Structure 1
Amino acid sequence: MSVFDVLQERGFIAQVSHEDEIREMLEKKKITFYIGFDPTADSLHVGHFIALMAMAHMQRAGHRPIALLGGGTGMIGDPSGKDDMRKMLTPEFINHNIECFKKQMSKFIDFSDGKALMVNNGDWLLSLNYVNLLREVGTHFSVNHMLAAECYKKRWDKGLTFFEFNYMIMQAYDFYTLHKNYNCVLEMGGDDQWSNMLAGVELIRRKDQKPAFCITCKLLTTSDGRKMGKTEKGALWLDAEKCSPYDFYQYWRNVDDSDVEKCLALLTFLPMEEVRRLGAYKDEKINEAKKVLAYEVTRLIHGQEEADKAVKATEALFGGGADMENVPTLEISEADKTAKLVDVLTAQKVFGSKREARQMIAQRGLYLNNAAVEDAEFALTPELFAEDGGVLIRKGKKKYYRIVVK
């Protein structure tokens, strides 16, 4: 079975530019391919993880990945799927984010001994001469064809700036540069990048008359088409500081039953026989499959130790266990032992605002030591911490925190 078959069986592949040629190439040759990552935040999120898993499968099959970090394209911003223009980012912000990405990617991709490359498109895009670019690349792009691209259609009514209009050209030029410098012949990425990726394929084929290809991966969506990886705090980040391993574990532990098999196939390296066996579970038994999914994904992202802690914390909270050591802990000062609970939980980022906290109390969705908090002005007391040194908070049905004094 070739890596193309592996990716297809596991549900990665959405669209391909030249399927027969790609199949033959991946069966007979070891190639260099790339996936681009624009550093718009200081952490990768679970949407990026789909791309990293596809990259890892390719590397395991002997192909060489290039992780392209968008130090140049990040200065423009991809308009794909956006109703409004992205916020313009500073070079300092972009460079900081790139360093964060490098650390995270190294957990999943082996960059030792030239087995994979990590490059920054700012190295060539930021020094481009505009007139030279127009002469060298612009002649190969049809404005009519570009305006028909899906990545621009959503912005058409609100107005698409010339600034953003250039993004497709920049991404195509990336592929052309990687092809020229590293013999890169394949671009991979999310399905929302199809138009941009095709532009690079066509640029290489027109300008150099050499083969180039692209494969898009399916976006991570629920069975009813909604985007996965969104939490009440925003994106499901891979950085433990932005999303704790416990919260990360709980997200996968609570996915819809209908999404379990798909997530096991895309987000773990479990053999497909095991994926299908677990995915076939029904009713209460599907919870066993969810435990496997949550553990395997958390282990890949945060390591086995953190995954084990997340399991122990979950068992302590939901299984009647006595070990509360691994439950997410909020540390407060002695002075805060008499503070209003709403103030403490807002300061600890359990809630985004005091208003949000008060609304949950009004809906009887906030619990302290298993008793509903009914008064938004409720204040902590030293006596609450006397028994075991901590106070257990439940937010909604399944979010638990333990408040302790430093």
Structure 2
Amino acid sequence: MTQTSLESTNPALAEQRNDASFESLWQELNWRGLVHVSTDEGALEEALAGDPLVYYCGFDPTAASLHLGHLVQLLTMRRIQLAGHRPLALVGGSTGLIGDPRPSSERTLHTPEIVAGWVDSLQNQIKHYISFDGDSGATMVNNLDWTQGVSAIEFLRDIGKYFRVGTMIKKDIVAKRLNSEEGISYTEFSYQILQGFDYLQLFRQYGCTLQFGGSDQWGNLTSGTELVRRAENAHVHALGTPLITNSDGTKFGKSEGNAIWLDSELCSPYAFYQFWLNQSDADVIDRLKVFTFRTREEIAELARSVEEEPFKRAAQRALAWDVTSLVHGEEATHKVIEAAEAIFGKGEIAEIDEPTLNAVSAELPRASVPASEATAVRLLVDTGLVKSNGEARRAIKDGGAYINNAKITDGEAVLTEADWLHGKFLLIRRGKKNLALVHRS
């Protein structure tokens, strides 16, 4: 169902501003590296500098959460909105049932019930990043609203007649699939017609004149501009943002093959913060431009720190703070920072809540030990922090072994109930940086 009276769930929106040092929004978008390809550049720059326009970006519900690639689009939506233009946030209840073609193989088709649930989930996430209030308040739309009542004959007669197969098969992704061993189904081949239909419908219903998305969607974006031109004899705009890659050419936003999700249940705030904190010196300034609202002057100062004092990692800390606070809130960001400090002895570890402790310790060596047998010597050995009981006793004697940040003085005593964090965990440390987690069996 189309929704027009939503409220944002993010108080940070009120603090966001475009950079006043730029003469135009177009200049800032270019400086931030958000323009990869567009229709008539001069006309689009003029349109963005003129009277408020209506624009849209689409998000297909192919999973229960948005990820970092979507965050690029959400923040671009917000920057354009801050310039006084009105966004339409489209969640594809119909296109999500099909899925845009992937480079390698056909997508798995999910049931309408699953897709409908994902639509709701994505709509709730999108509300966090754009405003639904005021003259430039956003409108949430679902393309299932205008496709589910259209028959196949109507679709072919009224929409399909404007598309030329010769043009459609030249689209990069379609051409790759046609030349692959698996080929491409008519279902996925037709995706670009459905997306073009979205643009035509939004042009007719809302006067929408700009669509944008990732540059890998350029074929689908221009399907819409061409359909509006043929069906309505009108010229509308399309903008493709670049795909974000690391300086070494690898795909950005992947961790061991998994996307960095915006949902805290799929990617914890701690893991999310660490992802940004671990950005390389070669990438961090570009990330600040794309993913934060820091000004050109502020980012220039952080770039200086990268050059002159890289060991301080000021740029990475600023990036991690800004993006984690935006996505998960300042309170959660404070928690993960405090938790990271606490496990290395700079804070009170007992104050870390269980989900954060689990996230912080996710990559640590682990061991499972019965509470009745939990002595410091055994814990050090079972977790692999030492190789033998004798080595464990020497570490304790030398004052270099800790349980929950408390120095161990008696390696043979069984730990008490009060020692177990949340009744089930013990954090073991040898020296300053060698850590492990014990789980109560």
1:227 shift after superposition: 1.4
Corresponding residue for 1:361? none
The SS at the match of 1:94 is helix
The SS at the match of 1:188 is strand
Matched, 1:341 2:367: yes
Corresponding residue for 1:134? 156
The equivalent position to 2:256 in structure 1, one of 223, 229, 232, is: 232
Matched, 1:299 2:287: no
The equivalent position to 1:28 in structure 2, one of 32, 50, 66, is: 50
Matched, 1:389 2:420: yes
Corresponding residue for 1:181? 205
Corresponding residue for 2:346? 321
CA deviation profile, 1:298-320 (whole Å, cap 9, x unmatched): 000000101111111222235x4
Corresponding residue for 2:302? 278
The equivalent position to 2:132 in structure 1, one of 99, 111, 114, is: 111
Matched, 1:263 2:294: no
Deviates more, 1:118-127 or 1:231-240: 231-240
CA contact (8 A) 1:249 1:310 kept: yes
CA contact (8 A) 1:7 1:13 kept: yes
CA deviation profile, 1:365-397 (whole Å, cap 9, x unmatched): xx989853879xxxxx99467673242279xxx
Deviates more, 1:101-110 or 1:171-180: 101-110
User: 2:169, 2:386 → 1: CA distance?
Assistant: 55
User: 2:78, 2:133 → 1: CA distance?
Assistant: 14
The equivalent position to 2:92 in structure 1, one of 70, 77, 95, is: 70
Larger Cα-atom Rg: 2
Letter paired with 1:155:
R
Letter paired with 2:220:
N
Corresponding residue for 2:75? 53
TM-score by length of 2: 0.77
CA contact (8 A) 2:61 2:115 kept: yes
Structure 1: runs of 5+ lacking an equivalent: 332-339, 345-366, 376-380
CA contact (8 A) 1:34 1:187 kept: yes
Q: How many residues align?
A: 367
User: 1:139, 1:343 → 2: CA distance?
Assistant: 69
CA contact (8 A) 1:257 1:286 kept: no
CA contact (8 A) 1:16 1:215 kept: yes
Deviates more, 1:276-285 or 1:29-38: 276-285
Corresponding residue for 1:79? 101
1:233 shift after superposition: 6.8
CA deviation profile, 1:230-265 (whole Å, cap 9, x unmatched): 123711111111111111000100111111001111
1:32 shift after superposition: 0.4
1:4 shift after superposition: 1.5
Letter paired with 2:346:
G
CA contact (8 A) 1:279 1:286 kept: no
Corresponding residue for 1:253? 277
Corresponding residue for 1:200? 224
CA contact (8 A) 2:285 2:303 kept: yes
Deviates more, 1:177-186 or 1:129-138: 129-138
Corresponding residue for 1:191? 215
User: 2:227, 2:415 → 1: CA distance?
Assistant: 67
Matched, 1:12 2:16: no
User: 1:310, 1:198 → 2: CA distance?
Assistant: 43
Trace 1:88-167 onto structure 2 (pairs within 5 A): 88-113=109-134, 115-156=137-178, 157=180, 158-167=182-191
TM-score by length of 1: 0.83
In the superposition, relative to structure 1, how do residues 260 and 177 fare at CA in structure 2: closer, same or farther (>3 Å)? same
1:286 shift after superposition: 5.5
Corresponding residue for 1:356? none
Letter paired with 2:420:
G
1:275 shift after superposition: 1.3
Corresponding residue for 2:8? none
1:342 shift after superposition: 7.3
Structure 2: runs of 5+ lacking an equivalent: 1-22, 360-365, 371-379, 389-411
CA contact (8 A) 1:46 1:237 kept: yes
1:130 shift after superposition: 1.4
Corresponding residue for 2:375? none
Cα RMSD, aligned residues only: 2.9
Deviates more, 1:261-270 or 1:286-295: 286-295
Letter paired with 1:103:
N
1:401 shift after superposition: 7.8
The SS at the match of 1:329 is helix
User: 2:256, 2:369 → 1: CA distance?
Assistant: 19
Matched, 1:372 2:385: yes
CA deviation profile, 1:150-195 (whole Å, cap 9, x unmatched): 1212322121001110000000000000000000000010111001
The SS at the match of 1:295 is helix
Corresponding residue for 1:335? none
CA contact (8 A) 2:367 2:439 kept: no
In the superposition, relative to structure 1, how do residues 125 and 343 fare at CA in structure 2: closer, same or farther (>3 Å)? farther
User: 1:369, 1:22 → 2: CA distance?
Assistant: 64
User: 1:343, 1:124 → 2: CA distance?
Assistant: 59
